[in-house]
Amino acid sequence: SPNQFSEFIAPYLAKLIQGYRDLGFYAIKHTDGNIEPIVDQLVQANPHALHSLDPQGGIDIADIKKRYGKEICLIGNVNCGLMDSGTDEEVIESARYALEQGMPGYGYIFSTSNCVYPGMKLSRYDLIHQVWEREGNYPD
């Protein structure tokens, strides 16, 4: 629950992240699933970036970007479920959506929404890579 996260995790997560920052490292907080109930606390812990913004967990990068895009780098949101079992068109649209919603104002790293599944076709990576090459570059 958010209350338990606040009591048992958030204070220590913030200290750990600050320790890494003090050493000159970048801190990326990896997550899975529906982080909506605790996303405020994750951002307040002050990592440099938040990964992986899972649409299968109900996380919409457009909403997260609007709320936190000026505070933290966002990573991910290309739907791994669609990469595994969706059509090519759905995979392309998922990649395109992540780029279109994540890139404005900078602070976005293109990535899948989670770990990739065993046996996933490499052609699916080719699809999202092609979208990224065409549409995922910031201007010089």
pLDDT per position as a tens digit, 44-102 = 999 999 998 999 999 999 999 999 999 999 999 999 999 999 999 999 999 999 999 99
Q: How far apart are CA 62 and CA 101, in angstroms?
A: 5
Please give the residue that has the higher pLDDT: either 140 or 1: 1
pLDDT at 117: 80
Residue 58 counted as domain residue: yes
Strand locations in 7-66 (E): 28-30, 49-52
Range of the structural domain that residue 99 is part of: 2-135
What digits encode the pLDDT tens for the residues 8-39? 999 999 999 999 999 999 999 999 999 999 99
Q: How far apart are CA 90 and CA 100, in angstroms?
A: 15
Mean pLDDT check: name the lowest of 84-88, 100-104, 127-131, 136-140. 136-140
Which of 10, 113, 111 lies closest to 59, judged by CA?
A: 113
Q: What percent of the chain has pLDDT over 70?
A: 100
**Into how many domains does the chain fold?**
1
Residue 31 counted as domain residue: yes
Q: What percent of the chain has pLDDT over 90?
A: 92
pLDDT at 57: 95
Which of 48, 101, 104 lies closest to 76, judged by CA?
A: 101
User: pTM to 2 decimals?
Assistant: 0.94
When pLDDT is cut at 50, 70 and 90, the band that residue 118 belongs to is confident
Residue 140 counted as domain residue: no
b/e burial code for range 57-89 (CB count within 10 A of at least 16 → b): eebebeebbeebbeebbbbbbbbbebbeebeee
Residue 113 counted as domain residue: yes
Residue 26 counted as domain residue: yes
Residue 71 counted as domain residue: yes
Q: Quote helix, strand, coil % in the chain, to nearest 5.
A: 55, 10, 35
Backbone angles phi, psi at 30, to 5 degrees: -85, 140
Residue 112 counted as domain residue: yes
Residue 46 counted as domain residue: yes
CATH number of residue 39's parent domain = 3.20.20.210
